[in-house]
A and B are shown apart, each in its own frame.
Chain A
Amino acid sequence: EAGVTQSPTHLIKTRGQQVTLRCSPISGHTSVYWYQQALGLGLQFLLWYDEGEERNRGNFPPRFSGRQFPNYSSELNVNALELEDSALYLCASSQHRVLSYEQYFGPGTRLTVT
């Protein structure tokens, strides 16, 4: 069974630019979570999508946004990039509808903002 996939693997952007990161969940999983992990720090919760709806968001500014598509894949958009947005962005999926909250992670997208 294919795991969670993310693209791109690495990305270098300039301050002020916009970026879109993509995530495909495990087949059968309806929930997608996005996390930010800055170098040497813990995972910070960004967004949770389930069945196409945004269910919860973490303590991040509105320039972090996303969506979930009918096939349950998801995009994370970050506008007006700042240097401190440099981090590993991780996507995870789970089978929320069967009350299974185990999250399985993709390999992440490493974003560098210069």
Chain B
Amino acid sequence: RKEVEQDPGPFNVPEGATVAFNCTYSNSASQSFFWYRQDCRKEPKLLMSVYSSGNEDGRFTAQLNRASQYISLLIRDSKLSDSATYLCVVNIAGGFKTIFGAGTRLFVKA
């Protein structure tokens, strides 16, 4: 079983749609959680950190469920520019180990 698992997609959605990505992790020592986006042949860019209380940044909302070892990302009112691969990232044991999920590909179409 992979330590961080994501639905690979692709997700094909129309502009304006709401889309949700899920991620599960297996290591209970996981401490910090993040979502990154990566455009084709570019470096990953930090989208947001994920906190137990949940957090929101504009159209993006991230949730963490430690009991179920589950992280989610919700994108509302999708834009064409949201088309990218979204990476779930888990940091274990005080930064000792960082694991990137394989990513979920999103295509937003006009």
Contacts and interface: CB of A to CB of B under 8 A. Distances in A.
A94 B95 contact: yes
Contacts of A35: 100
Contacts of A42: 87, 100-103
Interface string A57-98: 000000000000000000000000000000010100010100
Interface string A24-55: 00000001010100000111010010000001
Contact of A105 (B31, B41, B43, B103): B43
B7 to A, nearest CB: 14
A103 interface: yes
Given A42-B101, A101-B91, A102-B49, A90 B44 contact: yes
A102 B44 CA distance: 12
A68 B95 CA distance: 17
Interface string B77-110: 0000000000101010011111111110000000
Interface residues of B, number: 23
A2 interface: no
A105 B45 contact: yes
Chain B binding surface SS class? strand
B32 A101 contact: yes
Given A31-B95, A45-B99, A105 B44 contact: yes
Interface residues of A, number: 23
A35 B36 CA distance: 15
A107 B98 contact: no
Nearest to B2: A42
B34 interface: yes
Given A42-B100, A42-B101, A104 B95 contact: no
A9 B63 CA distance: 36
A90 B45 CA distance: 12
Contact of B46 (A41, A90, A104, A106): A104
Contacts of B89: 103
A107 B43 CA distance: 5
**Which A-B residue pairs are the 6 nearest by beta carbons?**
A105-B43, A42-B102, A43-B100, A101-B91, A101-B32, A101-B95
